Chains A and B, each alone.
Chain A
Amino acid sequence: MQVNNNIINLLIAGTGGQGVNSLYRIMLGLCQEHNLYSKSALFKGGAQRHGTVHATLRIFLRNEPGYQWYSSQVPPNGLDILLGLEPWETIRFRHFAGEHTQIWSNTSIVPLFAQRFLKESPGNPMEMLQRFGNNLRLQNYSQQAFQKYGDKRMANYLIGKDVIKSGILPFSNSEFMFRFIKEVKPEKKIEKLILEEII
């Protein structure tokens, strides 16, 4: 698919409970703050926890005729940013990615089968991820989040901060951080740490 320079296509993937929804709402909120037209969707299954959750966000940098009829889905190979809060989920959505796609992925694995007596996982996701090439950035965001904030669920904050730092999205670090505090309402000690970062 031709890369459309007027649209930024973002996909956030993870498992239930990792904060995909929160990160999605933050990005959506930032679009609204900037008066950017967007189309987006959040998908989660019936399970409250541990299922696949993903969100797509298409940010229209310019409002051109016909955009209201564009899909909220990312076109094939049209993804600009893939944020994977879990490595299997990063791989699951690879078919949206093209050669230009920038990928940030957590390396902390949530085993595929919560029911242990079912079959083994199909291989090692880290080996598969290595094949994504130079546009891939891997970090154990869950471990970093635990070390820094005492809560591995802050991985979504760290991965979001990294993508904002890259400059691909038209949002600033401080806008992202304030929005995070507003949407997620973290514990006081974590909020304090975030505010200290802003200062």
Chain B
Amino acid sequence: MISKLQVNGNEAVALAALSMDLDYFSHYPGSPVNFVEPAIRKFAVQFGKEIIFNNALNEHIATLAAGGAAFAGAKSMVVMKHVGMNIAVDPLTYLAYTGVKGAMVVIVGTDPGANASTGEADVHWYARMMNLPLLEPVTVAEIYRLCREAFLLSEQYELPVLLFIPTRLAYDSETIGFNIETGARLRTFEFIKDKNRYINVGQRNIRNHNHLIEKRNAIAENAAAFIKSFGNENAETAIITRGLTFTQSFETLQTLGGMNRFHLINIDLVFPLPALQLSQILKNKKEIVVIEDQDGFLEENLKMQLYNEGLCEISGKKFFPESGEIGYAQVFGFLSEKMGVEPLPVIVPEIQDVIPERLGTFCEGCPHRAVFFVLDKILKDIPGIIGGDIGCSSLPPFRADWLMCMNAGIGISQGIAQLPTPQVVFSTGGDGSFFHAGLLSLQSAVMNRINLIHLVLDNMSVAMTGHQESPSSKKGFDPKKLLKALGVNKVYSIKATDIKKLEKALRKEVGKTGVRVFWINGSCSRLENKTRDLKVKYLDPKIYHEKCGECRICFDEFACPAILDNKGDLQIDLNTCMRCGVCKELCPANAIKASAWQSFIKIYEKPQS
């Protein structure tokens, strides 16, 4: 029975996976596909499905785990964002050689335009490198359909299948029809030993590689169903799209009456290309334009595979940029110009200014703000660097000295710290990054006897992507035991709000040797916290102007968004202040106080949990 529901891209993946009897789900959270996991959990309960979950600590582990489950005959899914694919490619390359027994679908959230990422690197090329099929849906309803197709392809050819969802589509929402049978199926799984398949070395690997190439070619020969064709098939100009540029092109042509003038073709299976069918479709065209974002993967593959087919020139990146997201306006502008339609009037042309991006900032009450305030204060006195990671600890982007990839905090810091330099290196990173690969990076620093100070900003969750659990979220987790076992010379465990203690301890460690770790505890201010709720309810912090020396440290340097400048007078916005108390601690004039503060703390203060 077909049911209908308004869902977003993440939820469409979840529904598709459940409709195909998903057994095993693994992931590392990353925008824009960080909501697939909670959606699967929610729908699994609703439909009575039993799914095994692996909340892996990084994409390498998540991919291997999903592969292992698929080896044993399970239908598995692994989800990650595009930068995580850089880590997953190592095991995926081998899973392509070995193949899988059950099914394995790899969902990757891409991000052209870097709307939710630190970068927009084009990971389509990995599909070519690994010879794995790659599907790219154009709408939320198509996510559901193609995700199901991915499972079918994977089962048929015993290969992992990739499915890419860009940010814009992951956050799109529409009503889709779906069909899920209620109730769990009973299955048992078994890993069947097959050394020819699973032992990849030397000539065995070459044999497996040949087998993979055969599968790839077979998929390409049978992929006619993955071509969507609209408009006039006899038109001289073909517009070929993949992903979101299809809906923009379709609507533009439909609205401007251009459907009879162009042949609009969308390719759902972006790799391997159904070259035979495409060469037939395109053979009489006088112009072929590919509209796609990023590097031009589809255009390059079309050129490569159809080179000897006597076709006209294929172009795309001649007209569309390789960077940033291709917006509706660009597609509309291109197609309307081709049709000789007048350009659209610019509304309010006299506003020429580009409105600057709103840079990220720490939330009110975020423990990370206190830590960076202390680091900035120390670095006013001594030359130094703040090594940055990614996630909430890297907001706002200019606080640290670089913003790149996971574990760039410890990783790059140790490279600099190893050199003879007078600069002190404070490396930072969150608990999410620490368990992702930072732990190994730290151990490497210990092994290499690097003089490094690393701060783990532990807000008890992988916060930015939706507060997924991290190992330090669990009660009883003892960072000192873990770090001492790694050989870390000295471990400090300090509350983020205790800025005086933190500053004193950090200053003490400057110039000393060995790897020293500061485990900074401070729960994310967006997480539920009963103590904080009580403080918000009962405390009225205020800046007493008669005491205020107008140094503006709280406003300019601490920069809490809850401290506002009301025509020169600084005030605390009680609607948004989270009562962390740090502004009170840092005020040199002792001008910030809350009524009932002291007595409240005595009665209600508990160790932060």
Contacts and interface: CB of A to CB of B under 8 A. Distances in A.
Interface of A: 1-2, 4, 15, 17, 28, 32, 37-43, 45-52, 66, 68-77, 88, 91-92, 94-95, 97-99, 101, 112-118, 121-123, 128, 131-132, 151-153
A77 B344 contact: yes
Contacts of B248: 71, 73
Contact of B576 (A17, A66, A132): A17
Majority-rule SS of B interface residues: loop
A43 to B, nearest CB: 6
Nearest first, the 8 closest Cβ-Cβ pairs linking A and B are A47-B360, A114-B361, A71-B247, A76-B329, A49-B363, A72-B172, A92-B355, A69-B250
B192 interface: no
29 contacts: A1-B255, A15-B358, A17-B576, A32-B6, A39-B174, A42-B171, A43-B167, A43-B171, A46-B117, A49-B363, A50-B358, A51-B358, A52-B357, A66-B250, A66-B254, A71-B248, A72-B174, A72-B247, A73-B247, A74-B328, A77-B344, A112-B356, A115-B398, A118-B398, A122-B355, A122-B356, A131-B350, A132-B347, A152-B575
B419 interface: no
Given A32-B6, A71-B248, A74-B328, A114 B345 contact: no
A70 B254 CA distance: 9
Contacts of A17: 576
B491 interface: no
A169 B344 CA distance: 25
Given A39-B172, A91-B355, A114 B559 contact: yes
A18 B269 CA distance: 40
B98 interface: no
A72 B26 CA distance: 29
B353 A71 contact: no
Contacts of B347: 77, 94-95, 97-99, 101, 132
Given A39-B174, A73-B168, A49 B561 contact: yes
A69 B172 contact: no
A48 B6 contact: no
Given A51-B358, A69-B139, A75-B252, A94 B172 contact: no
Nearest to B399: A115
B172 A41 contact: yes
Contacts of B361: 47, 49-50, 114-115
A77 B557 CA distance: 41
Interface in B428-443: none
Contacts of B172: 39-41, 72
A71 B359 contact: no
Nearest to A131: B348
A88 B280 CA distance: 51
A65 B171 CA distance: 24
Contacts of B398: 115, 118
B358 A52 contact: yes
A38 B174 CA distance: 6
A32 B4 CA distance: 11
Given A49-B364, A72-B174, A115-B359, A43 B561 contact: no
B266 to A, nearest CB: 9
Contacts of B55: none
B246 interface: yes
A40 B173 contact: yes
A68 B392 CA distance: 37
A14 B578 CA distance: 21
Query: B248, B333, B351 — which one has the most chain A CB atoms within 10 A of its CB?
Result: B351
B244 interface: yes
Given A43-B171, A73-B327, A94-B348, 13 more contacts: A4-B255, A38-B174, A40-B173, A70-B250, A71-B248, A72-B139, A114-B358, A117-B559, A118-B398, A122-B355, A132-B348, A151-B575, A152-B575
A72 B138 CA distance: 11
A77 B256 CA distance: 14
B6 A75 contact: no
A72 B360 contact: no
Of B31, B329, B346, B398, chain A has the most CB atoms within 10 Å of the CB of B329
Centre residue among A52, A68, A94, A95 by max chain B CB count within 10 A: A68
Interface string B98-116: 0000000000000000011
